Amino acid sequence: MEDETLDKVRETVIDAFIVAQEAQVRALHQLRKKPKERVSRKRVGLSQLDLVEDILEHHGKALHIKEVIDRVEKSHGIRLDRESVVSSLTKKVARGERFVRTAKNTFGLKGRDQ
């Protein structure tokens, strides 16, 4: 019985090492790729609010936050955190900057959707 338990432990340890080594090999293959190939899908330099503004500009009118988040994910490949974006948009609206609120959880661009 002890031999059986030792064999199982031995196999588990070996499996863990294999998984770790495979992960290291994958990481090395990623490092070997040219920097251009490793660029993230995330657009460098654009904040969450820049992405929201881009969507609202292209749509041309105010959108509900759910629609904004879905469109950002579809066009930019980034899933925004709803609470964070709503909080940021609400602060901008309160300051009179960039965005306006046209209905509950619906935002547009200042000067266009008022």
- pLDDT tens string 52-108: 999 999 988 999 999 999 999 998 888 999 999 999 999 999 999 999 999 999 999
Task: Specify if 97 maps to a domain.
Answer: yes
Q: 55 and 103 in one domain?
A: yes
Task: Specify if 34 maps to a domain.
Answer: yes
Task: Specify if 114 maps to a domain.
Answer: no
Q: 34 and 54 in one domain?
A: no
Mean pLDDT to the nearest integer, 35-57: 71
Confidence of residue 41 (pLDDT cuts 50, 70, 90): very low
- pLDDT tens string 72-87: 999 888 899 999 999 9
Distances (CA, A) of 103 to 23, 65, 100: 48, 11, 9
Q: 57 and 102 in one domain?
A: yes
For 14, the domain range is: 2-38
- Non-local (6+) Cβ contacts of 102 within 8 A are 62, 108, 113, 114
